[in-house]
Structure 1
Amino acid sequence: MAKAKNNSKLDTFLKRNTSRDLYERIRAYEPCVVVSGSVKKVFMHVILSDERIYLSEYLPRALRKALSFRNITSIELINDLPDFLSGRERERSLHIRVVHTANNAGKKSEAPQGSSKNKPECPSVSPSQRHDLGVRQSLEEMSHVLLSTCSAPSESSDWRISPTSMSDDRLEKEEGGIISKRRSASCPNPDVLGLGLIPTFPQSPSSVHLSSSSIAPLPSITNNQHWTPAQTDRPAVSSRRSSILTRLMRRTLAEKDREKKEDEKEELHLYAVSPTSLIYLHLQSAWSSYLIRSTLMLDPVHRKRCGISSSFPGKQRCHKISWERTCHLFSQWSGELLQEDISLERMYLLLQELHTATYRNPTIKKLFWRSPDLYPFLVKTLTESSQVTLERVHKADRLLLCILVVQTLSLMFRETEIEAARLSMLTAQQGTLTANMLLALVCDPELQLPDSTNVSQSSNTKLQGLQADYLDAASALLFEVVVLCQEASRTPALGHFLTVSWVFRSLKPHPFLLPFVGYQAQQVVLVLSGQQCPISPSIAVLLYQRCSVLLACLQQSTFLSKYIRTGFKEEFRYYVKTSGLEHKLPHHYPISQPAQHLLSQLLSLVLQKP
């Protein structure tokens, strides 16, 4: 479903009231009855971007952040008939329950995501990590107070902004003019205003002790010492410090309580009343894409390969060129790629440029599928490279090119389900091009090396490494195709033939299909039985993708199901243990919980008695 379908008024509103970056990342929208902690049975537009769920009135006036995908724990359909609907709407309603952790951002109206004043979102962290961050912040604030005898705000400025509160007044009196009253009525925190009253120190608990060494010690009090008026202020300063530390300790405890509340589960209920509603599919797809993307962003190796900054992975979005300029550059690039007799090296460099640019600009995905030549060209390149003889000449170069082609196709498949041109391209001529891509994708996992004494062992090792990289990329692309067909099979009104069963029927004649699927099962067992703990974010995503493909094989293909159960039942029984998954898949990986659920399903089916 295209986001502009049947509602040009909402589309115009979004175009005018959001940044171009956010507008291009809106995946779908649909009117639903919304029920949550702050919204009670209101007919609103539910708007999905690649990071959040937004809400807007049916006659749009404002855009409200409702929920971030990072807070979602499950999305499920509920089989019931809502009592607040009647007639045909009650019978054809689709009830979706979204379970999530507490989300304070959704309880008040905020500026749209993507505006220049908003900071990029960071990947979700575990409760223990949030606690550690809070403790470090509090210790830093204590060091500021001890060094400057300045007071920190007694409450969080997010929800307590009144400058006339009792605590602030009493603090002003206690300080006795140490800090002049220069705080804004709407922002009592001097740090936010940039007044420079408190210096910045490293965020480390040790900074409290290290930095305090630069303070001149208080003069010792002896019986022979004569007191002066200036010295009588010292006990008052010490008392103020004690009072400030007490307030900071209370604030830390309050933050801990708030963190516990944030971990509590809340629910967002959506009731779609359209008989052709696709909101559930779009929700599932957007959430899955977010889990994969945000987990990969935790891996510095992945960010480096994609040309994304390690410090600020979302910052590149702020520096965008216009749609017209993007189209012009893309046209120039595609014209150069599609030239006849292009060299292998030049083709590789151009594809690498496309791959990197697509991570920074999602517009390129739309332009890719709207081009009539690029997808057929990549499929042709992959087919020709896979049919190259097993001679060693240029084999490494060909493997590198195949890896890049497959990775680029995976990137173009992801998060483009609402692009109508993609479905038209994939289903053209009864899916002939897509079937050719699948047949070219599958290969023999055993790399056949030539018998030659001139070939060094290091060269053979390099080739084997490239072959493993290709198989990883191939499993990721096969995952994208399986997800595409799963979504397509749930929308029979579209009238196309794409199903998971069609994928395996197309691949069945391939001579290396069974070894290829066996390799995927082998890798799952090796990762889960290996010593690496925890596994890297990229391997966690690959594990999730491989498990999805294997699960589809078990559910949709009789001969592949029999092959997996016969060949790998004992390996799964003895080496795959769900009890130790939390060590392999740490809590702060967004993909961890869905991957553990998928593994439990996979293990159950593999060990199932015939």
Structure 2
Amino acid sequence: TFLRRQLPPEDYDAIRAYEPCVVVSHAEKHACKYVVLSDQLIYLADNPPKSIRRVVALRDVVAIDLVDDYPEFLSSSDREINQHIRIIYSSTGLKKKCGKSRAVRKFLFPFHRSNASNQNVKEEHDGPIFWRDKEPSSLSESSFTSDLFCFLVNKLHEYLPEARDKHALHNKSQRADELVACIEIIQTLGLMFRETEIESSRLNTLAAKKGTLFKLLVILISKPQIPKPCPVLDIHVVADSPSAEMSYDAELQKLILEYTDKATALLYEILLVFQQGNLGLESTTFAISWMMSFLQNCPPIITFVAGIVKQVVKGLSASFQLLSPCQAVLLYQQFYILKSCLQYSKTLAEYIRNDYSEEFRYFIHIPALKKRLPLHYPITQPTTQLFHEVLKLVEQKQYVKC
């Protein structure tokens, strides 16, 4: 009600989440506030609500770093359940609101839940410190339910990696329709993970449905089966062919490519959830290393990782055209998955280093990236930073476990 009164309708509709936090900055000393996140802005509101002000425009965010540390100012038990996210941003865009211009400032967000009302908090990083109270936001409590998660994954399993209906094994038109449905389901799952702002609900869902999660992971890394004969053809050439049979082949190949991109995006979202849960949450402990341990033992993962490397090579060397925004986001997601494989899986790290050293030497390099990524894209700088991290891990000879 407070947000509806204080904000214009278009700004209120863009609100995604809010959290009670303790804020420490030059202006605030252990102040109880609400951090409000919208599609474009981060706000600070009084607690209890009296006023609200803009703090950061998301377009001004320069980098977002996950800080894997234990805050000394929290008790030992709270250190285990807190996670810091540092947001570095330029205050130029909101200089009238923030009081500074042409400056780069930092926020430190310890994100996991913590009862912080009586904690002794100190100022760090010359910017406000937020950490969440134990009560979750009510905006997204029902947006991700276990029942819906299981239903969608089970529906995927009906068609992937192969259809249960044996008739579809020979019916290219039917298989194309099934792949279209699967792409829509995967997009829905991706939105559910991304739009569910309260991380604990996602972790709780995955914790309660481990079997369903395992099933989903195997589906995502497995290439969909399609009717034979359906050779790998040049889509642009085949699309102009008068042959209906070849037209279906081309459509299926195009759908396979689209499915692979959507599966990559969803796997990226799941990796983020595991990364956010790396320090534990109440009685549930999720670690990205545990997830990678499962994946490295799944036979399809080698083909999946190989496909990602080949897609990256193609994206950086196929032409000198600039990447579209969607292609740039996909490239970031691909790098993130490769980094996770290199950092948390000895088997996959050795595979990437041994089998694709030439690709990283001659095709996947910074000059190629700079030619394809426009400087004005907000994702360009994070992608470049992530690219450097991937290259550094590829050059390492020893497996690093975090």
> Normalising TM by the smaller chain, what interval?
0.7 to 0.9
Residue pairs, 1:36-47, within 5 angstroms: 39=27, 41=29, 43-45=31-33, 47=35
Match of 1:441 among 206, 213, 220: 220
Match of 1:376 among 150, 167, 184: 150
The 3 A distance-change label for structure 1 pair 80 and 483 is closer
* 2:110/2:131 contact within 8 Å kept: no
Offset from partner CA, 1:437-466 (integer Å, 9 cap, x none): 1122221378663279x9722221111111
The Cα of 1:105 is off from its aligned counterpart by 3.1
The 3 A distance-change label for structure 1 pair 468 and 107 is same
The 3 A distance-change label for structure 1 pair 425 and 40 is closer
Offset from partner CA, 1:126-181 (integer Å, 9 cap, x none): xxxxxxxxxxxxxxxxxxxxxxxxxxxxxxxxxxxxxxxxxxxxxxxxxxxxxxxx
Amino acid corresponding to residue 462 of structure 1 in structure 2 = E
Residue pairs, 1:253-268, within 5 angstroms: 264-268=102-106
2: distance between equivalents of 1:403 and 1:97?
34
What secondary structure is seen at the aligned counterpart in 2 of 1:65?
A: strand
What secondary structure is seen at the aligned counterpart in 1 of 2:53?
A: strand
The Cα of 1:413 is off from its aligned counterpart by 0.7
Q: What TM-score, normalized to structure 2?
A: 0.76
Matched, 1:526 2:301: no
2: distance between equivalents of 1:272 and 1:508?
30
What secondary structure is seen at the aligned counterpart in 2 of 1:546?
A: helix
Offset from partner CA, 1:320-347 (integer Å, 9 cap, x none): xxxxxxxxxxxxxxxxxxxxxxxxxxxx
Offset from partner CA, 1:226-266 (integer Å, 9 cap, x none): xxxxxxxxxxxxxxxxxxxxxxxxxxxxxxxxxxx95x333
More strand by share: 2
Amino acid corresponding to residue 456 of structure 1 in structure 2 = E
Structure of higher RCO (CA pairs closer than 8 Å, 6+ residues apart)? 1
* 2:68/2:84 contact within 8 Å kept: yes
* Structural RMSD (CA): 3.9
Matched, 1:496 2:271: no
* 1:34/1:269 contact within 8 Å kept: no
Corresponding residue number in structure 1 for 2:211: 432
Matched, 1:70 2:63: no
The Cα of 1:57 is off from its aligned counterpart by 3.9
* 1:410/1:480 contact within 8 Å kept: yes
Amino acid corresponding to residue 194 of structure 2 in structure 1 = R
2: distance between equivalents of 1:101 and 1:552?
29
The 3 A distance-change label for structure 1 pair 427 and 95 is closer
Match of 2:337 among 527, 535, 549: 549
Offset from partner CA, 1:203-242 (integer Å, 9 cap, x none): xxxxxxxxxxxxxxxxxxxxxxxxxxxxxxxxxxxxxxxx
Corresponding residue number in structure 2 for 1:392: 171
Residue pairs, 1:584-595, within 5 angstroms: 584-595=372-383
Corresponding residue number in structure 1 for 2:234: none
Residue pairs, 1:168-317, within 5 angstroms: 264-268=102-106, 276=114
Offset from partner CA, 1:105-136 (integer Å, 9 cap, x none): 35449xxxxxxxxxxxxxxxxxxxxxxxxxxx
The Cα of 1:565 is off from its aligned counterpart by 1.2
The 3 A distance-change label for structure 1 pair 40 and 74 is same
The Cα of 1:543 is off from its aligned counterpart by 0.4
Amino acid corresponding to residue 408 of structure 1 in structure 2 = T
The Cα of 1:576 is off from its aligned counterpart by 1.5
Offset from partner CA, 1:14-46 (integer Å, 9 cap, x none): 4654467358522434111123xxx36573525
Amino acid corresponding to residue 404 of structure 1 in structure 2 = E
2: distance between equivalents of 1:271 and 1:575?
37
Matched, 1:48 2:31: no
Offset from partner CA, 1:280-325 (integer Å, 9 cap, x none): 799xxxxxxxxxxxxxxxxxxxxxxxxxxxxxxxxxxxxxxxxxxx
The 3 A distance-change label for structure 1 pair 27 and 566 is farther
Amino acid corresponding to residue 65 of structure 1 in structure 2 = R
The 3 A distance-change label for structure 1 pair 78 and 45 is farther
Q: Which runs of 5+ in 1 are unaligned?
A: 1-11, 110-260, 283-361
Residue pairs, 1:120-135, within 5 angstroms: none
The Cα of 1:606 is off from its aligned counterpart by 1.7
* 1:14/1:23 contact within 8 Å kept: no
Match of 2:388 among 586, 600, 604: 600
The 3 A distance-change label for structure 1 pair 579 and 472 is same
What secondary structure is seen at the aligned counterpart in 2 of 1:494?
A: coil
* 1:547/1:602 contact within 8 Å kept: yes
Larger radius of gyration: 1
Offset from partner CA, 1:328-369 (integer Å, 9 cap, x none): xxxxxxxxxxxxxxxxxxxxxxxxxxxxxxxxxx97x75442
More helix by share: 1
Corresponding residue number in structure 1 for 2:352: 564
Corresponding residue number in structure 1 for 2:25: 34
What secondary structure is seen at the aligned counterpart in 2 of 1:276?
A: coil
The Cα of 1:95 is off from its aligned counterpart by 8.5
What secondary structure is seen at the aligned counterpart in 2 of 1:47?
A: strand
Corresponding residue number in structure 1 for 2:362: 574
* 2:90/2:104 contact within 8 Å kept: yes
2: distance between equivalents of 1:271 and 1:374?
30
The 3 A distance-change label for structure 1 pair 40 and 579 is farther
Offset from partner CA, 1:530-559 (integer Å, 9 cap, x none): 214211111100000111111101111111
The Cα of 1:58 is off from its aligned counterpart by 4.8
* 2:312/2:331 contact within 8 Å kept: yes
Residue pairs, 1:333-482, within 5 angstroms: 367-370=142-145, 372-386=146-160, 387-388=162-163, 390-393=169-172, 394-418=174-198, 420-429=200-209, 431-444=210-223, 449-450=228-229, 456-482=245-271
2: distance between equivalents of 1:444 and 1:94?
35
2: distance between equivalents of 1:485 and 1:367?
21
Amino acid corresponding to residue 192 of structure 2 in structure 1 = M
Amino acid corresponding to residue 33 of structure 1 in structure 2 = V
2: distance between equivalents of 1:96 and 1:446?
40
Q: What TM-score, normalized to structure 1?
A: 0.52
1: distance between equivalents of 2:275 and 2:229?
41
What secondary structure is seen at the aligned counterpart in 2 of 1:484?
A: helix
2: distance between equivalents of 1:497 and 1:436?
20
Corresponding residue number in structure 2 for 1:536: 324
Matched, 1:487 2:276: yes
2: distance between equivalents of 1:560 and 1:100?
34
The Cα of 1:404 is off from its aligned counterpart by 1.1
Percent identical among aligned pairs is 33
The Cα of 1:563 is off from its aligned counterpart by 1.3
Residue pairs, 1:91-170, within 5 angstroms: 98-103=87-92, 105=94, 107-108=96-97
The Cα of 1:591 is off from its aligned counterpart by 0.9
